[in-house]
Structure 1
């Protein structure tokens, strides 16, 4: 079933939302709408700011008037505690790495989406909202892939969200990952500077490719250990494009182990009996300036047991350069 918003809405942007992208602003007002619908109404010019057409990435200014058209969206029932296994609720609660009145950092498990939608009934943000019912506005500051584990930053206030997202735009967030890549990482290949473009092939779906007309994307790879038939590498991101680490690693002939989208199916199949039944990618460190205290925060997400065990299983004597 679908429900239709009754009429056009005109929403005035407040100081709290100044600087937010149009697409993210709309998703807050059209929570049940799929992202594809949000981008379609922007592209068709049905969304206007101060009576003018805009792009998804247009930044809003306090006092702007946003026209939101009436849209038909799926009737989705509110996620309640009984919809989520108690064990999952407890697992998220037990893996909150840092929390105060302004924000929290969670060590997200692999296999848990950051939010519900597209066939997923619930995600981590829905769990956190149930765990913290008194927090009026819990929002994701950024996203990581469903199969990636590790640090995920959540804001509790609009002003905190705005500040942290500005830090992302200014490349002031320090994001570091651990990845298990196929084969041996190329010697002396530390910086991968290749533009990335998100494509939608005719057969459906989408994937990210290296392309001259893509968005600038920079990753820094360092080999931490040689493992059996693979390498453990640390990755520091200068930019944060969709699937950036996965596609940059693939570009060097070293796809991530367990990557069902970009990796080698036969290689993945060979590693599953050894215990790697997930994507070999973990967001290990997250550094940022606390928007309120102005203190530099560096949060480490411990490796999940399955990730730690596969490293131990594949370990070779000694370390690398």
Structure 2
């Protein structure tokens, strides 16, 4: 049985509590509440040492500067309720100031909340907003939500969306919800359906694409994905919803969850997605700009799952006005056919 720090006490309102001597010593002693039980220590520290590089967090863990119940632990250690975590002071020079969410972005995200019950948030994520900071992005959806809900001890992504993809994304406000819904996702029981506009005429009868995908990183650091025999097995189901002159509106359901999966599978069929700067030619994208499209046309339209208590949740995310106007233009006779 592990010994508990003598100063451990019950957490208040689901937040880690701090020992009284923290202000004078610079060292924090945080007591882990029930809501955070099961979280890895590296993620726990990342959420509390705002702006500190992850490499620095791993370094203080390796050096034993972080202790749990007075003992050294590894980065993969999973916290338990009542654990007392010693967090050392981090020099200001190593810690960038945490970016502050502006009023406009805060209002945009607040207006994009589609569902907020039973420990689950569903957001209609705007295109262009990354789901989290990193790789040159200082502020993502998860950082915005944590500033919007400062009293919530736990806010974590259930799954991810590409920065350029809009639509429904699930965010857990309770660890039990995160673990349960991610288990549903791994078992294939979570519903995910996208709307995608593909260039060209989608082949009749092509309802499933099974093609292995492999990630590659270019010298520039850009991440690309391609169909490759040594890639990971990947499957996407497609359904034609509407055909236009030079384009096809599709419903896409990813059976597996690989990076850029829908985009690369559509390209593989010969019908890359409209507005895709990575996998669609400039000529094709120019044609779609003629009907008002200035971004990737890929939208997470529906997400659904079962919560730990058995409650079924299914949320639809409406298309933005921009994408709706593109569809309207195509229905009105807009022609995006190219010579290629």
Q: Give the structure with higher Rg (CA).
A: 2
> Structure 1 residues 279 and 79 mapped into 2: Cα distance closer, same or farther (>3 Å)?
same
Aligned to 1:313: 329
Aligned to 1:3: none
Alignment of 1:78 onto 2:98? yes
Structure 1 residue 26: deviation in Å?
Answer: 8.2
> Structure 1 residues 262 and 31 mapped into 2: Cα distance closer, same or farther (>3 Å)?
farther
Alignment of 1:296 onto 2:308? no
2:275 is paired with a residue whose SS is coil
Aligned to 2:217: 200
Larger mean CA deviation between 167-176 and 183-192 belongs to: 167-176
Instruction: Please report the TM-score for the alignment, with normalisation by the length of structure 1.
Output: 0.77
Give deviations 1:3-29, integer Å, cap 9, x for gaps. xxxxxxxxx9x99665x7999788658
> Structure 1 residues 141 and 234 mapped into 2: Cα distance closer, same or farther (>3 Å)?
same
Distance in 1 separating the partners of 2:45 and 2:232:
23
**In the alignment, is the contact (CA less than 8 A) between 1:195 and 1:215 conserved in 2?**
yes
Aligned to 2:18: none
Distance in 2 separating the partners of 1:177 and 1:75:
39
Distance in 1 separating the partners of 2:329 and 2:165:
20
> Structure 1 residues 284 and 180 mapped into 2: Cα distance closer, same or farther (>3 Å)?
same
Gaps of 5+ in 2: 1-31, 64-71, 82-89, 334-340
Distance in 1 separating the partners of 2:43 and 2:212:
23
Q: How well do the aligned residues superpose, as a CA RMSD in angstroms?
A: 3.8
Aligned to 2:267: 250
Structure 1 residue 266: deviation in Å?
Answer: 1.4
Instruction: Please report the TM-score for the alignment, with normalisation by the length of structure 2.
Output: 0.73
Identify which of 109, 117, 122 aligns with 1:100.
Answer: 117
Give deviations 1:200-259, integer Å, cap 9, x for gaps. 234532211111221111100111001231110000111111100001101001111111
Distance in 1 separating the partners of 2:94 and 2:164:
26
Gaps of 5+ in 1: 1-11, 64-70
Q: How many aligned residue pairs are there?
A: 295
Distance in 1 separating the partners of 2:180 and 2:265:
29
